[in-house]
Copies of this chain bind each other. A is one copy, B any other.
Amino acid sequence: MAKIPLPAVDRLCSIYGLLEKLEAQGTKAISSGEIGRNINATNATVRKDISYLGMPSVSGRDYEVKKLKGHISKALQLSKPRRACIIGLGRIGTAILAYEKFKNEGFEIAAGFDLSINKIERIVTPVSLFQISDLEAVIRSRGIEIGIICVPPEAAQNTADKLVSAGIKGILNCSAAVISVPEKVILRNIDYTTYLRVISANISLLKR
């Protein structure tokens, strides 16, 4: 199979998420145009991304939801289970902690961390909670590969550094700070403000 370019990997994951929801809603087939509209890419980009999967071509026909999903999962090894942890148990952190959908997707939230022992004792969850000082030991002993950073911005880089020295493989940064990690660590950022800005810009440009 051809090497899949990195931006295509991200889009294929978005397509996978879309297909999964469509499957749950009972949809059997979808066109590349409809996929593009949902993940906000052009028809041509969607077809190109899917071409990397080495699927038989279905020119002019819709993609079968189930089949396409299977090909993406195989190419990106999405069936591999992974353990993640959440660092920072404020509002967003505890909301993610309670996010039950992860389990069905092969992601196990295996630990939560906070500075405040008071918070750790107060939060009711089946997930094991620890103080930040236990971060490295717990990540190593539980085989945690992904860290979800939900700490205040001023603590984000320090948290990332600790995750990196504990051998973390990927970081989802939900804090409002830019963090730097070595190239071998996969980093993605979630920012609600950016999403609102994207919507706002598109509203303005639609009027032109």
* Complex contact B194–A41 (CB within 8 A): no
State how many residues of chain A have any CB contact under 8 Å with chain B: 70
- Which residues of chain B are within 8 angstroms of A171 by Cβ–Cβ distance? 199
Residues of chain B contacted by A12 (CB below 8 angstroms)? 201
Most chain B beta-carbon neighbours within 10 Å: one of A45, A146, A171, A200: A200
- State whether A170 and B84 are in contact (beta carbons under 8 Å apart), knowing that A95-B95, A99-B192 are contacts in the complex: no
Q: Indicate whether A184 reaches chain B with its CB closer than 8 angstroms.
A: yes
A199 engages B177 (CB within 8 Å)? no
Q: Are A178 and B25 in contact (CB under 8 A)?
A: yes
Contact with B along A99-120 (1 / 0, CB 8 A): 1011001110000000000000
Residue of B at shortest CB range from A19? B178
Of A53-61, A75-83, A126-134, A158-166, the stretch lying at the interface with chain B is: A75-83
Which residue of chain B is the closest to A200 with respect to CB atoms?
B82
Q: Which residue of B lies closest to A9 (CB)?
A: B201
The interface residues of chain B lying within 8 Å CB-to-CB of A17 are 191, 193-194, 197
Of the candidates B94, B146, B197, the one whose C-beta lies within 8 Å of that of A200 is: B146
Mark A residues whose CB is within 8 Å of B.
Answer: 3-4, 6-7, 9-10, 12-14, 16-18, 21-22, 25, 38, 40-42, 45, 76-78, 80, 82, 84, 91-92, 94-96, 98-99, 101-102, 105-107, 145-146, 153, 169-172, 176-178, 184, 186, 188-206, 208
A selection of 21 A-B contacts at a CB cut-off of 8 Å is A7-B41, A13-B197, A14-B194, A16-B194, A17-B194, A25-B177, A77-B200, A77-B201, A77-B204, A78-B200, A78-B201, A80-B200, A84-B196, A105-B196, A107-B196, A146-B200, A170-B199, A172-B196, A172-B199, A186-B202, A188-B195
